[in-house]
Amino acid sequence: MGTTAALALTALPGTAAAEPGTATTPQQAAQLVAAASHELEVLSEQINEAREVLAQQQQAAAAAHAEVEQTRVELDALDGQIRQVARSAYTGTDDSLATLEMLMTSDSAEDFVSSLSMLDQIAGHTTGVLDDVSAAAQEAEQAQAEADAAQAAAQQTLDDLSAQEDQLESDIAEYQRQYAELTAAQQQQVQQAEATHSGETVAPAAVARPVAASGSAQAAVDTALAQVGDRYVWGAGGPDAFDCSGLTQYAYAAAGVSLPHSSRMQSQMGTAVSRAELQPGDLLFFYSPVSHVAMYIGNGQMVHASTSSQPVKVVGMDSMGGITAMRRIV
């Protein structure tokens, strides 16, 4: 459990407490916003994963606490009931009276010896059961301590990443302020350059309905495409705003498939496929380490929540550069 909580912390460019850069041209202003937005997306995905890990550790800690309580209840029940029977019958303070009673009520010496042997077995068995439960209680308490430590480590990781996020958001606000000072003509020039770089957005009406290989994949594709035009918000998972992994999680949830809200975690699910094997509903992953995910919809296109300045949209699958992983979820 401890290793699960050890989420890697990455010091991202722009997260230090230095003054944000200053643009001297419209292109530089746009580049500052775009670069910082990408850094925040990377950090946001790390935070998404940290939240997933923390939730897992909280569940593990709760289960460990319940296990400790259960073993304590069992131990108390054995000590208060079974052991008391054995004590009163064989090893208790009235041992001599119990033995005398057995002697007086036995039909023969053989019956008396047999009764003593049976009581000895009961006492031995009871002691063994108590020892087993006591050992289980100690193991459960150790597991509880480890689970609590793992939960604390996961919480610390999330807190550290959130502090980085606050600084980076402050930097982005400064970059956006600089961008806002551009003239309308300059902003239009920058937006056209960005559209050319990121791939042409396809209007929902122009996208032919993809045909997936399974009902679950079809439901996921249809749900993802229904979100085209929704806002991009870091850490959002719907229904009206999304980040990249929030969109794919939301889409597959509509198909009855549970995905974690983390692009890196999603990149380890399902089965790997090659580019030639891609089918609508497969997930495409970008960057190394993975920090962005999109859904393939066929014909060389994908739908994704790209970045803070863009809504959910359909673009060419190669518009973001190299794909680092491709997975089929169902």
Sign, CA dihedral 253-3-46-291, equals negative
Phi/psi for 309 (5° steps) reads -90, 0
Between CA 274 and CA 326 the distance in angstroms is 7
Q: What kind and span of H or E run contains 221? A: helix 215-226
Contact 238, 250 (CB under 8 A): yes
Contact 220, 257 (CB under 8 A): yes
Q: Catalytic residue at 125?
A: no
Q: Catalytic residue at 244?
A: yes
How many CB atoms within 10 Å of residue 158? Answer: 18
Which is nearest to 238 in space by CA: 214, 257, 222, 254? 254
Phi/psi for 190 (5° steps) reads -65, -45
Sign, CA dihedral 299-206-187-305, equals negative
**260 cis-preceded (ω within 30 degrees of 0):** no
CA distance readout (Å), 144 to 64, 130, 131, 151: 5, 21, 20, 10
Between CA 133 and CA 75 the distance in angstroms is 6
Pairing of strands 231-232, 271-272: unpaired
Q: What is the CA radius of gyration of the chain?
A: 32
In DSSP terms, 284 is beta-bridged to: 294, 326
Question: Which entry of 38, 125, 197, 244 is annotated as an active-site residue?
Answer: 244
3-state secondary structure 256-288: CCCCCCCHHHHCCCCEECCHHHCCCCCEEEECC
Phi/psi for 237 (5° steps) reads -130, 30
Q: Catalytic residue at 304?
A: yes
Residues labelled catalytic: 244, 292, 304
